[in-house]
């Protein structure tokens, strides 16, 4: 583990201010080009491209970006990185998880911290379409968890790739538990409200398009006794919907922290010690990391914040430098 060079300005020294800054100070608009990928199960994933066309991308590089929980390709941290990569002449593509692109997906299933199979399909299609290109990856929060699980699944096969994981919830149970009390409870309540509203809206959407899927979701909602915490939502909705035996089983099987030794890609983990969603007990030790993985820990930075003194784009600059250089 190394100490990050990130330094927070005094007026953004609070972890909650760092975490919320991007939400209240949106990025400038960015031109994106949408591509729809049809999955093997008949559902779809929407991809949003930015920067030069892949054929004109510097070094024939394509950066694949994965957003966090309740995020999308329009999340500020995605847009800011795509803009910086475009300025460097590099093509990037943001993967919207199922139901996150502004249009609900066609099946009952959605996405979760271990949904590596969807990233598998996206990657396989990308390498078919662009066989001469080099692929690099950046994931945030839940997207970082998906990325690390996927890298661990494929092991040595991806040893030549570079990846960055930002604000990763390495131990899902500990992170979920941390959002049950204190100031962190605010985030848990926020996520549950968004997830529940989205779940109810998806049921209505599917009623005229896929009644079988709508019935599955409606039954889960009717059987739910309480959905006031993230643990309850994961236990009664996320887990049964995706084949897990409750929240504890989901958290145990999809936490990336125990699998970091299987990650063979050259990987940078960017974390903040004051992250209000990820307690220090959830962070991996040096012994947990593979030889090619580096954990860079800052004292401050919040959750996917990292707004530096005089440099709003510190995080994007750090990610781009790692991915595009020979560091």
* Domain annotation for the chain: domains and CATH numbers: 2-171+255-324 (3.40.50.1820), 172-254 (no CATH)
Can 67 be counted among the known catalytic residues?
no
- Check residues 7 and 270 and name the one with the higher pLDDT: 270
Angle value at C-alpha 307, between 301 and 311, nearest 5 degrees: 145
Residues 6+ apart with CB under 8 A from 77: 22, 67, 140, 166, 304, 315, 316
pLDDT at 23 over 90: no
Can 275 be counted among the known catalytic residues?
yes
pLDDT at 327 over 80: no
| Matching residue, tokens 């593509």 | 93
For 223, the enclosing helix (H) or strand (E) is: helix 211-223
- Helix/strand/coil for 60: helix
- pLDDT tens for 225-245 read 889 999 999 999 999 999 999
Determine the Cα–Cα distance for residues 323 and 318; give it in Å rounded to an integer: 9
- How remote is the C-alpha of 180 from its chain's centroid? 22
Point out the catalytic residue in the list 141, 145, 178, 255: 141
- Helix/strand/coil for 290: coil
- Helix/strand/coil for 266: strand
Point out the catalytic residue in the list 43, 118, 235, 275: 275
Look at residues 169, 162, 170 and name the one whose alpha carbon lies nearest to residue 319.
162
| pLDDT at residue 300, as a whole number | 94
Is residue 166 within 8 Å of residue 144, measured between CB atoms? yes
pTM of the model: 0.96
pLDDT at 1 over 80: no
- Give the pLDDT band of residue 154 (cuts 50, 70, 90): very high
Average pLDDT over all residues of the chain: 95
Determine the Cα–Cα distance for residues 98 and 118; give it in Å rounded to an integer: 9
Q: What percent of the chain has pLDDT over 90?
A: 89
| pLDDT at residue 12, as a whole number | 87
| pLDDT at residue 207, as a whole number | 94
Can 141 be counted among the known catalytic residues?
yes
- pLDDT tens for 112-122 read 999 999 999 99
């Amino acid at each position: 583990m190394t100490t990050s060079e990130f330094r927070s300005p005094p007026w953004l020294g609070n972890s909650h201010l760092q975490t919320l800054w991007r939400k209240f100070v949106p990025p400038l608009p960015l031109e994106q080009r949408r591509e729809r990928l049809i999955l093997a199960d008949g559902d779809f994933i929407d991809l949003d491209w930015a920067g030069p066309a892949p054929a004109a991308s510097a070094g024939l590089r394509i950066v694949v970006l994965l957003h966090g929980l309740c995020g999308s390709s329009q999340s500020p941290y995605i847009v800011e990185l795509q803009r910086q990569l475009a300025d460097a002449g590099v093509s990037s593509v943001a993967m919207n998880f199922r139901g996150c692109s502004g249009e609900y997906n066609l099946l009952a299933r959605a996405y979760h911290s271990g949904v590596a199979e969807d990233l598998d399909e996206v990657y396989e299609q990308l390498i078919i379409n662009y066989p001469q290109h080099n692929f690099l990856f950046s994931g945030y929060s839940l997207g970082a968890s998906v990325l690390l699980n996927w890298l661990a699944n494929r092991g040595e096969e991806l040893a030549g790739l570079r990846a960055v994981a930002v604000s990763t919830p390495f131990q899902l149970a500990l992170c979920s538990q941390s959002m049950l009390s204190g100031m962190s409870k605010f985030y848990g309540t926020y996520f549950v409200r968004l997830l529940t509203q989205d779940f109810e809206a998806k049921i209505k959407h599917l009623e005229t398009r896929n009644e079988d899927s709508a019935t599955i979701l409606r039954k889960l909602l009717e059987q739910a006794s309480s959905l006031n915490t993230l643990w309850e939502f994961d236990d009664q909705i996320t887990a049964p919907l995706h084949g897990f035996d409750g929240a504890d089983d989901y958290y145990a099987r999809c936490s990336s922290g125990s699998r970091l030794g299987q990650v063979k890609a050259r990987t940078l983990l960017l974390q903040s010690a004051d992250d209000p969603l990820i307690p220090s007990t959830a962070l991996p030790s040096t012994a947990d990391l593979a030889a090619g993985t580096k954990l860079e820990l800052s004292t401050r930075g919040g959750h996917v914040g990292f707004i530096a003194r005089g440099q709003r784009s510190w995080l994007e600059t750090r990610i781009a430098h790692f991915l595009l250089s020979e560091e």
